[in-house]
Structure 1
Amino acid sequence: MTPEAEQLLLDGLDAFGLQPDPTAVQRFRHLLTLLQDGNALVNLTALKSEHDIVLKHFVDSASCLLGGHLAGDQQVIDIGTGAGFPSLPLAILNPALRMTPLDSIRKKIDFVRATAEALEMNHVHPLVGRAETLGQTPEHRGRYDRVVIRAVAALPVVMELSLPLLRPGGLLVAQKGAIGAEEMAAGERAAAELGGQVASVEAFELPVLHDRRSLVIVEKTRPTPARYPRREGVPAQQPLFWKAK
């Protein structure tokens, strides 16, 4: 990591009120090297430059820590982690988190597992699978304190993938861009159907880039009905209370 990229990382984290210790900074340096080396062999991420990786992966992932929803010792599952985001930056910044990065693509989970081992983060336990399947599995259904997800899907899809995995009283922390009123209303209805309630929508800008972002915080208020989540692919193809676009 060049000095310029490191300063960009530190400034971006500082904008969120985060001051990483020297061990965390060293792990971010190592993570950048591993990601760039791994990406040369396997298509892990479309982001190539240090600037983009630092801002759009490292700093963007750290935004999940806004509001203190991931403070302390939490059992957290990261749905659709890809090459380990936001899981790996969150594990670096808060070693008390017990992270389960989840993705259906084995080569990406293999990278996350090898990277967690290289960074000596034994609190990261990657898993190959689909949220729809895990949500109907006794070992995972209703077991997590927190779910994090970098959401490109509509909110109703996010709700159905996430809420079945949360224990009552747990929180979904969903990273979204700007959210329209129609999507928000459908998301709130889906949350209620699945045993949750939208607690807050926290808007912010990504440092330097000034991209608009939102954290949607959803509390699990009661057990999810047994019929949810539906089988693999259905939540995205037939979103609750939302016409797929």
Structure 2
Amino acid sequence: MEGVSQLGLELEPGQVEQFARLLALLREASAQMNLTALHDERDIVLKHFVDSLTCLRGGWLEGELRVLDLGTGAGFPALPLALVRPDLQLIPVDATRKKVEFVGRTAQTLKLENVHPLVSRAETLGRGPGQREAYDRVVTRAVAALPILAELALPFLRVGGLLVAQKGPIAPEELEAGKLAAAEVGGEVRSVEPFTLPVAGDARTLIVVEKTGPTPDRYPRREGVPNRKPLFWRTT
């Protein structure tokens, strides 16, 4: 698959076939519902599949881990990760039921037994039984500004766990607010790595936040508040 070798990955023939099936399933479903704005095969491969796998940079997801994919959309990065890392237990979460149902059907079709999708909002799920401080990693891909991600993601992590956030270029103001927000909810920014997406050349940033202490009970705030009033950051 184009671009994967630049990430240091070598796909087996069976995995290449699975990615081809994923591509077909995504394009078929997107013709019926709004799953992705990308329709060209090359764009989907590079900007969904390869882009999803860039969260493997740096070795932050090594080991048998329980991983929450927060705001998974049509299953990214969860589905590509599941195809190349069967040792990860992946829980894709999104508030849009039709997208989560697509992820679930696709995981069944591809026989990805390590994918267990949920329909929920992060603010609610992060307070739920068996969810708070229950994960080794949280991954997010182009979901929200860093201060928002810190508040929504860190409650899910056990102390010592990591938020691995895939973003485009990040402004200094957002990064500074993200560092303050992370500290507020029990975390610390460990790594900020700018890079370019293989082949496509698009600018990307991989940000890693470590959960260094318990998240105060008041976080996350009620539904919608983290997005409307991000911690330590004014968007206008």
TM-score bracket for this pair, using the shorter chain length: over 0.9
Is 1:159 the counterpart of 2:150? The answer is yes
Unaligned runs of at least 5 residues, structure 1? 1-8
Paired residue type of 1:95: P
Q: 1:29 aligns with which of 20, 41, 48?
A: 20
Unaligned runs of at least 5 residues, structure 2? none
| Contact 1:159 1:190 (C-alpha < 8 Å) held by counterparts | yes
Is 1:61 the counterpart of 2:55? The answer is no
TM-score norm. by structure 1 comes to 0.94
What displacement does 1:152 show? Answer: 4.1
| Contact 1:151 1:158 (C-alpha < 8 Å) held by counterparts | no
Q: How does 1:86-125 map to 2 (within 5 A)?
A: 86-125=77-116
Paired residue type of 1:21: E
Percent identity between matched residues is: 59
Is 1:221 the counterpart of 2:212? The answer is yes
Q: 1:4 — aligned with what?
A: none
Q: 2:140 aligns with which of 129, 139, 149?
A: 149
Is 1:230 the counterpart of 2:215? The answer is no
Compute the RMSD of aligned alpha carbons. Answer: 0.9
| Distance in 2, Cα, partners of 1:218 & 1:164 | 12
SS at match of 2:69: strand
| Contact 2:71 2:143 (C-alpha < 8 Å) held by counterparts | no
Deviations 1:197-225 (A, max 9, x none): 00011111001221110110010011100
| Distance in 1, Cα, partners of 2:79 & 2:107 | 7
Aligned residues: 236
Q: 1:199 aligns with which of 167, 190, 202?
A: 190
| Distance in 2, Cα, partners of 1:243 & 1:43 | 31
| Contact 1:237 1:244 (C-alpha < 8 Å) held by counterparts | no
TM-score norm. by structure 2 comes to 0.98
| Higher alpha-carbon deviation: 200-209 or 230-239 | 200-209
SS at match of 1:41: coil
| Distance in 1, Cα, partners of 2:89 & 2:153 | 17
SS at match of 1:37: helix
Moved over 4 A (4+): none
| Contact 1:80 1:102 (C-alpha < 8 Å) held by counterparts | yes
What displacement does 1:192 show? Answer: 0.4
Q: 1:135 aligns with which of 119, 126, 133?
A: 126
What displacement does 1:144 show? Answer: 0.4
| Distance in 1, Cα, partners of 2:115 & 2:59 | 20
| Distance in 2, Cα, partners of 1:79 & 1:152 | 8
